Amino acid sequence: MPRMRMTIAIAAVVAVAFSILSPSLRAEPSASINDTARFIAGLPPSPGSPLTAYTNDGYWKQYARGFDEAWNNLEKRQLSKISAMVSRDFHTRQSVLFYFFSGPDFLYADAFFPSADTYVMAGLEPPGDIPDLRKFSRGEIATSLRALRSSLSSVLSYSFFRTKSMRVDFSRAKLNGTLPVLMTFLARSGKTIYDVSLFDLQSDGTLHPAEDKIANPTGKGVKIIFGDANVGRKRTLYYFSTDLSDGGIKTSGFLKFCDGLGHGDSFLKSASYLMHSDNFSTVRDYLLSHSVSLLQDDSGIPIRFFAQGWQLKPYGRYVGPISLFGGKYQAKLNEVFGKGRATPIDFSLGYRWRPRESNILLAIRDPSATAFEAAPAAGMKKSDLDSGDALGSQANADVPQRPKYRRHKEQTVNKDFQLFGYLP
C-alpha cells in the first residue's frame, strides 16, 4: 500500500512537470521531412501533418502567396523555356550529374538535367542542420521563413546566388546551411523527399554518418533521397561542403568518391572563373576527363581546353564578362559564338542576367572531333599546347583590345550588378 501511494505521487509529480514544459520540448507527432520541405517552400503539407495547423497563420499564408507568385514568374520567364530547349536539343543524358561550385542550386541542375539519377553538388557553404520545426516557436518560424525567402531572392531573379551574402545568410539563420534551400527547391520542383542524412567525408572517399563523429573529417555534406511525385523511382542528391581548390581537393577524398560513380554529365554556372586559374587545375582536369558532356557558361572552363576531342554547340550570345571579371574575356569563345553559329535562347543565365546577353556552351565528348585549331602563344610550339602549363600561360593572349563603347557598356552593367552586393 505505501509503495502504491509512492508510485501515484511520483506519477503526479511527473504529470505536473510535463505540463509546465515549453511546447517545443513536449513530445509531439514528428513532421516528415517531406512535409517540412513543403511547408518551408510555401506549399501545404500532407493532411494530418502536425505542420498543417501553422498554415492557418497569417504570416504563412502571406509567405505562400508571395512564393507562389515568384515561382510562377520564374516558371514563365526561365524554367518553361529551359525545359523546351532541353527537350528539343539534349537527347543523350547520363545518369550522373557533376555540378561543382554549385552552392545549393538544385533549381537549375534539375531544369537542365531533369532525368539524372544521381546529382553530385559541391561548394564551400556548410549543409547546416536537418530542420525540426517543432523546436521553433511561431515567431521563430515566421522569422526563419522571411530569412529563407530573402536568401533565395537573387537566384530566383538572376539565376545565381550572391556568394558573400550567401555565407552570411546561411550562417546566421535558424534554418541554417544549404539544406533548407535544397529542400525548398526539391519541393517546388514537384519532388517527394524520402530521406535526409548528414555525413562526414574521409580522405579515402568514404562517407560516414555525421553522428559517428569520425576523427579528422575532410568535408561535410548531406545525402537526400527523393523521387518525382507519383513515380516510384528513387534518386539521390549529394551536397558536399568541401574545398575545390588544388590545395584542398587533392587530399579531401572528394574526387575518390566521385570516381566510384564513373563518368557523367557536368554543369558549370556562375563559377567565378575560378577554373581559369591553375589554382583549380585539378578539378578542371577531372571534369574534362570524366564528362561525357559538359554544359557551362563562360565562367566555367576556358574555351582553349575544348579545341580537340569535343563537339561544341553554342547557345545565346557571348558579349564578354561583366567588368568585375573584365580580365576573363576569351577571344576564341567570341569566335565560337560568331555570327550565325549560336542558337538563340529566350532566357537568361549566369552573371549576364540581362535578356539577350547570356551564353551557354554544350561540349560533347568526341575523340575524333576538332572544334578549332588551338593557336600557340608567341614563342610556343604547337606541340606544347598539350601541356597544362602551356595552356595556362596562354590565358593572357585571350584578352583583346576593347573598344571604348564596349568598355562603357561594361561599366553600366556593373553598376546594376553591384546592387546585389556580389563578391566572388
CA count, 13 A, side-chain hemisphere, 402 = 20
Q: Which of 41-45, 314-318, 373-377 has the lowest mean pLDDT?
A: 373-377
pLDDT digits (tens, 9 = 90+) for 131-166: 999 889 999 999 999 888 887 876 565 544 454 444
pLDDT beyond 70 at 3? no
d(CA 219, CA 190): 30
pLDDT value, residue 333:
97
- Out of 1-5, 328-332, 384-388, pick the least confident: 384-388
Q: How far apart are CA 401 and CA 395, in angstroms?
A: 14
Q: Which of 28, 67, 33, 76 has the alpha carbon at shortest distance from 50?
A: 28
pTM here? 0.82
Comparing 200 with 29, the larger pLDDT belongs to 200
pLDDT of 82 higher than 60 = yes
Mean pLDDT of the chain: 82
DSSP-derived pairing of the beta strands 359-370 and 308-316: antiparallel
Q: Angle CA(130)–CA(131)–CA(136) in degrees, nearest 5?
A: 150
Distance CA 154, CA 171 (A): 17
Measure the CA–CA gap between 50 and 199, rounded to whole angstroms. Answer: 27
pLDDT tens-digit profile of 228-256?
Answer: 876 668 999 999 999 999 999 999 999 99
Q: Is 15 exposed, middle or buried (0-12, 13-18, 19+ CB in 10 A)?
A: exposed
Which of the listed ranges 203-217, 364-378, 403-417 does the model predict with the highest average pLDDT?
203-217
User: Is residue 279 over pLDDT 50?
Assistant: yes
Q: How many helices (H) and strands (E) does the chain have?
A: 15, 10
- Least confident range from 66-75, 299-308, 364-373, 390-399: namely 390-399
| pLDDT for 419 beyond 50 | no
Least confident window among 78-92, 99-113, 378-392? 378-392
Tens of pLDDT, residue by residue over 172-228, are 568 899 999 999 999 999 999 999 999 999 999 999 999 999 999 999 999 999 998
Single-letter amino acid, residue 212: D
Strand order in the sheet with 359-370: 207-209, 191-201, 219-228, 235-241, 118-123, 96-100, 264-268, 291-296, 359-370, 308-316
- Grid look-up 551536397 returns 239
Please tell me the predicted confidence (pLDDT) of residue 173. Answer: 67
